[in-house]
Amino acid sequence: MAAKKLRRARLSQELCERLSRHQITTCQDFLCLSLLELMKVTGQSYYDVQNLLCKVSRACAPKMQTAYEMKLRKSVNPSLAFLSTTLHSLDEVLQGGVPCGSLTELTSPPGCGKTQFCIMMSVLATLPVSMGGLDGAVIYIDTESAFSAERLIEIAGNRFPTYFDSDEKLFCMTRSIHLYRELTCGSVLKRIMSLEEEIISKKVKLIIIDSVASVVRKEFDTKLQGNLAERSNFLARGASVLKYLAEEFSIPVILTNQITTSLSNGLAIQADLVSPADDLSLSEGASSSGKRESSCVTAALGNTWSHSVNTRLILQYHDLPTRQLLVAKSPVAPFSAFFYTIEKSGLVLQDGKDQTNLTLEGTNPALQTIRVRDTALKDTLLDAALPKTTGETPTNTSNL
């Protein structure tokens, strides 16, 4: 909460403008200065500066609240405690949808629909509260240049054809989504540090970063000395600011992540950057020495980052037309799995698909294995080659 702007600490406008000229804009900037420095920049007495320090400290200190107060606040307007995904079975498990006031991470191999999900949620956040939306604007930080305005309009028109029945309504919706393309860690951190006033002025109800892993992996080679510590520091600072924004304004924050392949010898390979054939061989446990070793595809950015997010959803391949959504981590939901397809209207759950053969066992969310495209394809082909009825044996072609 030290990132709170001084204007929101109830200081006078004249004092805020004076401090701003000295690049002092947040509570943290103010509290890091000594008494003598503050006396110099504010032009006030020692006694007045001490009072200012107390006032700013109280403004940014986390306030104690009881469990009853938290429950009461959500019960007053339960529709604003979650952002519905309109995937009804998923919403039911999550007790309403993507929770407000916390960080939700979406991780998957390429092509499973992370960006499609983010675009779909952008549309939903702009809808009226009566339709399950938050009736607000969206901040969408795109680090992969993957956002598509055409796809945004397509999802909106196909998912809610009766509501978006005119170009005027579609135009109004697109004006509520504010897109920023940030391609470096520094620019991403600078952007999220400056969001507080923008959330207030634009009535923002959803923040999306697609994706966190993209900029981190480009800039930090963890094999180099010191890079791991710098990467951890960046992720910790970013998560801290985003949690403050989510909690302070009671809005959901959605982040996307990538995947990595972890080997039994402790190595990690960016699974989304290797070829599909390599991805398959790694998941099968092949090694350069010819020995088979255990390996799995998991979420990137490590175990520490997995503790920074409150909810983790995993998208993975299942068969050719169908993918699978896992609730791998949630403070309110058990480990759950759903099948879905990607349609013109966005993600659509396949509620009638048989799940009797699924083993729904949760594990450490940081180590939850993820099915990649070629593994799913191989399983599909193997299933097709197996006998269809009990006791059936393949035809012996040698007798022909």
Over the Cα atoms of the chain, what is R_g?
25
What is the structure's pLDDT at 353? 65
Structure tokens at 95: 């007790």
- φ, ψ of residue 103 in degrees (nearest 5): -100, 130
- The predicted-structure confidence for 293-347, as pLDDT tens digits, reads as follows 556 888 988 888 899 999 999 999 988 778 999 999 999 999 999 999 999 999 9
What is the structure's pLDDT at 367? 65
What is the structure's pLDDT at 107? 94
Q: Which secondary-structure segment (H or E) carries 339?
A: strand 336-343
The answer, yes or no, to whether the previous bond of 12 is cis (omega within 30 of 0) is no
Residue of 272, 152, 130, 131 lying closest to 208 (CA atoms) = 152
What percent of the chain is predicted at pLDDT more than 70?
A: 79
- The predicted-structure confidence for 175-218, as pLDDT tens digits, reads as follows 999 999 999 999 999 999 889 889 999 999 999 999 899 999 88
pLDDT band at 274 (very low <50, low <70, confident <90, very high): very low
Mean per-residue pLDDT of the chain: 82
C-alpha separations of 312 from 68, 106, 198, 267, 365 in Å: 26, 6, 27, 23, 7
Which residue type, as a one-letter code, is found at position 169?
Answer: K
Lowest mean pLDDT among 27-31, 75-79, 226-230: 75-79
Q: What pTM was estimated for this model as a whole? A: 0.79
Separation CA 58–CA 328 (nearest Å):
37
- The predicted-structure confidence for 348-385, as pLDDT tens digits, reads as follows 999 766 554 454 555 566 667 787 776 555 555 555 55
